Amino acid sequence: MKYSGITLKKPKVGFFDFTGCEGCQLQITNKEENLKALFGLVEVVNFREISSERRDDYEIAFIDGCITTDSEVARLKKIREQAGILVAMGACACLGGVNNLRSRFPLPDVVKEVYDGHHVDTGPVRKVAEIVPVDIELPGCPISKHEFEWLVRHLVLGIEPQFPKYPVCVECKQRLNSCVLDMGMMCLGPVTRAGCNAVCPRNRLGCWGCRGPSEEANFESLMEILREKGFTEEHIAERVKFFNAFSGILNSDC
Amino acid sequence: MLFKTITKENFKKMVEGLLEENEVIGPRSRDQDLEGNKIYRFLKVNSFEELEMDYTRSYSSPKNYFLPFKEDFATYRLEDNNWEQEIRYTVHPRVIIGMRACDINALLKLDQVMLKSVYPNPYYFARRQNTLIIGLDHEPLEDCFCRSMNTDTAFHGFDLFLTDIGDKYFVAINSDTAYIIINQFDAREVTEEDQERFKTVKEQIKSKFKTQVDITILPELMDLEFESEVWKKWGDKCLSCGSCAMVCPTCYCYGIEEDTNLTFTKATKRRFLYSCNLLDFAAVAGGHNFRPEAHIRLKYRYYHQFRGFVEAFNQSLCVGCNRCGKACLAGISPKAVIDDLIKTEKNEY
């Protein structure tokens, strides 16, 4: 593989699933017309969705899912030791994600409700960065294939990826969407990192913040706007807490 | 400029004729707001029936048909140690129907920057040349302040401009192309009755402006109020979301990005419209950000619109459509900000 006369090295990559639906890994395998080109750029040494090969000489590790068990903590630390670059991939790995919903309830109650009293080795929901240092966060629920391919190109060229710092509104306006807040729907687009091409508002669904906060997002202003529009504290809290993307910005009482 | 009239029936035939060979863009509604008002924007039209000539406000301006939000400047074929650049200015002929006087004036302002500057923009030129513009008069909405900005009428910058005088349109013709087209659809000479109806409609329009913004000393005022608390007041509300610049008919600031395909055999140099309200607008190589604070960024957007552009071109960049004010969730509008500045100057703030 050459780029402008320079021979590119194929980095060895591994994909590892933790607590989550593994949908982010599925996203990567979904875009069949690009698979050959994509896997021509890297050497996959560990990716259970596409290969039975299991090697541990990867240079880049992609982590999918949040961390909930002691065994996962140990496994993650081992991966971190091996990987030169560790990428947290998707809302669960980057934020805790949907799984974090259970953190609202006492853990024994959750286990009882779901597993009917069977012993389950599970602990609090944590994002990857709470356990080990993360080099790159690839956001989204699920991740976007387009953005994944863009990231891989950066990794192969050794260029630091620059994710959009601005919120979803920019892309939403560029697609000439109607503002769903004007239509009476709740939307976190004004404080959520862009890069998704406003796919939810495009389909008349307010943003749920799966990509995490935009940089220096003005939460206070959006909260004031949502309250003025008549959304209840419960409604706001439900939305804001959904992906665990905005923890620490709300009053503890909502 | 010549004047004629065309019946609405013949206008329909004309649009249907234009649809055969051109991409036609016009006001269409999609969705409704909470009060049940239709939300309009300029979209591709496939039949005359899809056109909504009675539209009120288009949520976004038709700017993006001249300055696309994303535009490829050049594509490259990469070979071993070589590369080949391809640049295309080709644009399919296009017709935009229903542009307001303010939007046409917005194009004239963009022309100053894109066509009449030291480095003309050939991409913009191609779109401008290949777009037939059919303007349309309207009664001002409650927040239109184009009259204050001197953009409520357009005398050039369009091919045809329509004023609804009942069963027909009073038409200003401003290009040879438009003259040839409209004459194929039985355009008539203006009668005395048409003139009277036209004058009445124009008087009605004039009488319905409600919002005024005093811009007489604005460039000086902005310098005097550079440190004003007003910027902080509105800046604290600003979401730094760039919506204002995206819907604005004149905001043209942009960035450049380069990307390759997955096999590194093709590359693209792309221009994307940006907004000076976005956090990293003034971030430079090395990481320094000249405008890290929202209220400073907001201030500079107003400076460009109402002061910088005046210095360069003797006119404001703003055309008074208030699309930014409507799109802003935080309620930041030129009227509100400028009124506050004037109040500060009078020590009433």
Give the closest-approach CA distance of B194 to chain A in angstroms: 38
Do A136 and A200 reside in the same domain of the chain?
Answer: no
B residues 217-276 lying closer than 8 A (beta carbon) to A? 236-243, 246-247, 259-264, 273, 275
The length of chain A, given as a count of residues: 254
Give residue A251's pLDDT: 52
Which amino acid does the sequence have at B122? P
The answer to whether B315 and B309 have CB atoms below 8 angstroms apart is: yes
Residues of A in contact with B67 (CB under 8 A): none
Do A17 and A134 reside in the same domain of the chain?
Answer: yes
Asked whether the beta carbons of residue B80 and residue A225 sit closer than 8 angstroms, the reply is: no
Which of B241, B277, B326 to mutate to probe the A interface, most A CBs <10 Å? B241
Q: Which chain B residue has the Cα nearest residue A183?
A: B33
Q: Which residues contact residue B55 at a Cβ distance below 8 angstroms, ignoring those fewer than 6 apart?
A: B27, B29, B38, B40, B98
The average pLDDT across B321-341 equals 96
Q: How far apart are CA B58 and CA B28, in angstroms?
A: 8
The average pLDDT across B36-50 equals 96
Give the closest-approach CA distance of A43 to chain B in angstroms: 14
Domain ranges of chain B: 2-67+87-207, 218-259+274-345
CB atoms within 10 A of CB A145: 16
Q: How many beta-carbon pairs under 8 angstroms link A with B?
A: 117
Give residue B349's pLDDT: 62
> Can you read off the two tokens belonging to residue B250?
């004149």
Number of domains forming the structure of chain A: 2
Q: How far apart are CA B255 and CA B76, in angstroms?
A: 19
Do A33 and A138 reside in the same domain of the chain?
Answer: yes
The answer to whether A213 and A193 have CB atoms below 8 angstroms apart is: yes
Give residue B156's pLDDT: 94
A251 inside domain? no
Which of A28, A221, A227, A229 to mutate to probe the B interface, most B CBs <10 Å? A221
Encode B9-46: b = buried (16+ Cβ within 10 Å), e = exposed: ebbbebbeebbeebbbbbbbbebeeeeeebbbbbbebe
Q: How far apart are CA B171 and CA B111, in angstroms?
A: 24
Q: Which chain B residue has the Cα nearest residue A157?
A: B264
**Tokens 């959750």 belong to residue:** A110
> Can you read off the two tokens belonging to residue A217?
């997002």
Do A178 and A119 reside in the same domain of the chain?
Answer: no
pLDDT at B120 over 90: yes
Residues of A in contact with B275 (CB under 8 A): 166, 170
Q: How far apart are CA B152 and CA B159, in angstroms?
A: 17
Give the closest-approach CA distance of A183 to chain B in angstroms: 5
What's the pLDDT tens digit per position in B175-213?
999 999 999 999 999 999 999 999 999 999 999 999 999
Residues of A in contact with B78 (CB under 8 A): 3-4
Q: Which of B69, B241, B261 sits opposite A174 (nearest CB)?
A: B69
A253 inside domain? no
Give residue B305's pLDDT: 96
**Residue among B186, B151, B190 nearest B61 (CA):** B151
Which of A166, A204, A227 to mutate to probe the B interface, most B CBs <10 Å? A166
Residue ending a domain, among A157, A182, A212, is A157
**Tokens 């319905």 belong to residue:** B208
> Can you read off the two tokens belonging to residue A148?
């994944």
Q: Give the range among B17-21, B79-83, B326-330 with minimum mean pLDDT.
A: B79-83
> Can you read off the two tokens belonging to residue B120?
């003309």
Do A153 and A180 reside in the same domain of the chain?
Answer: no
**Tokens 């593989």 belong to residue:** A1
Q: What is the mean pLDDT of chain B?
A: 95
Asked whether the beta carbons of residue A173 and residue B60 sit closer than 8 angstroms, the reply is: yes
Q: Does B284 touch chain A (CB under 8 A)?
A: no
Give residue B90's pLDDT: 85
Asked whether the beta carbons of residue A176 and residue B60 sit closer than 8 angstroms, the reply is: yes
Q: Does A4 touch chain B (CB under 8 A)?
A: yes
Give the closest-approach CA distance of A228 to chain B in angstroms: 10
Percent of chain B with pLDDT strictly greater than 70: 99
A60-64 and A85-89: which strand pairing?
parallel
**Tokens 């440190």 belong to residue:** B227
CA B33, B36, B41, B46 torsion-angle sign:
positive
A83 inside domain? yes
Q: How far apart are CA B89 and CA B101, in angstroms?
A: 27
The answer to whether A207 and A188 have CB atoms below 8 angstroms apart is: yes
SS3 B160: strand
Q: How far apart are CA B15 and CA B24, in angstroms?
A: 9
Asked whether the beta carbons of residue B60 and residue A149 sit closer than 8 angstroms, the reply is: no
Do A229 and A127 reside in the same domain of the chain?
Answer: no
Angle between the N-to-C axes of helices A32-41 and A23-30, in degrees from 0 to 180, rounded to the nearest 10 = 100
Residues of B in contact with A34 (CB under 8 A): 262
A224 inside domain? yes
Please report which helix (H) or strand (E) contains residue A50, including its range.
none
Which of B234, B262, B332 to mutate to probe the A interface, most A CBs <10 Å? B262
Do A148 and A217 reside in the same domain of the chain?
Answer: no
> Can you read off the two tokens belonging to residue B4?
């004629």
Residue ending a domain, among A106, A132, A157, is A157
Give residue B116's pLDDT: 94
Q: How far apart are CA B319 and CA B251, in angstroms?
A: 11
Residue ending a domain, among A157, A192, A212, is A157
Which amino acid does the sequence have at B334? P
The answer to whether A77 and A134 have CB atoms below 8 angstroms apart is: no
Q: Which residues contact residue B298 at a Cβ distance below 8 angstroms, ignoring those fewer than 6 apart?
A: B231, B234, B235, B238, B277, B332
Please report which helix (H) or strand (E) contains residue B194, including its range.
helix B192-207
Do A18 and A131 reside in the same domain of the chain?
Answer: yes
The answer to whether A209 and A96 have CB atoms below 8 angstroms apart is: no
Which pLDDT band, with edges at 50, 70 and 90, does B243 fall under?
very high
Q: How far apart are CA B270 and CA B259, in angstroms?
A: 8
Q: Which residues contact residue A235 at a Cβ distance below 8 angstroms, ignoring those fewer than 6 apart?
A: A186
The answer to whether B328 and B150 have CB atoms below 8 angstroms apart is: no
Give residue A254's pLDDT: 40
ipTM: 0.94
Residues of A in contact with B35 (CB under 8 A): none
CB atoms within 10 A of CB B257: 11
Do A93 and A8 reside in the same domain of the chain?
Answer: yes
Q: How far apart are CA A167 and CA A176, in angstroms?
A: 16
**What is the spatial order of strands in the sheet that B2-7 belongs to?**
B2-7, B168-173, B160-164, B131-136, B94-99, B23-32, B38-45
Which of B237, B264, B298 to mutate to probe the A interface, most A CBs <10 Å? B264
**Residue among A51, A11, A5 nearest A28 (CA):** A51
First-last CA distance in chain B? 47
Q: Does A2 touch chain B (CB under 8 A)?
A: yes
CB atoms within 10 A of CB A112: 12
Residues of A in contact with B243 (CB under 8 A): 169-170, 173, 179
Mean pLDDT by 10 residues, chain A (254 residues): 84 97 94 89 95 95 97 98 98 95 90 88 94 98 95 94 97 97 97 97 97 96 96 94 83 44
Q: How far apart are CA B45 and CA B24, in angstroms?
A: 6
Do A173 and A66 reside in the same domain of the chain?
Answer: no
B2-7 and B168-173: which strand pairing?
antiparallel
Give the closest-approach CA distance of B85 to chain A in angstroms: 13
Asked whether the beta carbons of residue B243 and residue A41 sit closer than 8 angstroms, the reply is: no
Q: Which of A38, A184, A190 sits opposite B241 (nearest CB)?
A: A190
Please report which helix (H) or strand (E) contains residue A4, including its range.
none
Before A106, cis peptide (omega within 30)? no
The average pLDDT across B44-60 equals 96
Q: What is the mean pLDDT of chain A?
A: 93
Which CATH number does the domain housing residue A119 bear? 3.40.50.700
> Can you read off the two tokens belonging to residue B108?
């004239």
Which of B41, B76, B240 to mutate to probe the A interface, most A CBs <10 Å? B240
Q: Does A206 touch chain B (CB under 8 A)?
A: no
Phi, psi for residue B24 in degrees, rounded to 5: -110, 130
Q: Does A1 touch chain B (CB under 8 A)?
A: yes
Do A112 and A183 reside in the same domain of the chain?
Answer: no
**Residue among B19, B26, B2 nearest B170 (CA):** B2
Do A7 and A57 reside in the same domain of the chain?
Answer: yes
The parent domain of residue A7 ranges over 2-157
Give residue A186's pLDDT: 97
Q: Does A6 touch chain B (CB under 8 A)?
A: no
pLDDT at B66 over 80: yes
Asked whether the beta carbons of residue B70 and residue A150 sit closer than 8 angstroms, the reply is: no
A164 inside domain? no
Please report which helix (H) or strand (E) contains residue B233, including its range.
helix B229-237
A163 inside domain? no
Q: Does A153 touch chain B (CB under 8 A)?
A: yes
A250 inside domain? no
Asked whether the beta carbons of residue A178 and residue B247 sit closer than 8 angstroms, the reply is: no
For residue B46, the 8-state DSSP code is S
The answer to whether A92 and A98 have CB atoms below 8 angstroms apart is: yes
pLDDT at B335 over 80: yes
pLDDT at B301 over 80: yes
> Can you read off the two tokens belonging to residue A61?
């590790």
B119 CB burial (10 A radius; 0-12, 13-18, 19+): exposed
Q: Does B314 touch chain A (CB under 8 A)?
A: no
Q: How far apart are CA B145 and CA B324, in angstroms?
A: 12
Asked whether the beta carbons of residue B78 and residue A3 sit closer than 8 angstroms, the reply is: yes
Which pLDDT band, with edges at 50, 70 and 90, does B216 fall under?
confident
What's the pLDDT tens digit per position in A144-184?
999 999 999 999 999 999 999 999 999 999 999 999 999 99
The answer to whether B282 and B291 have CB atoms below 8 angstroms apart is: yes
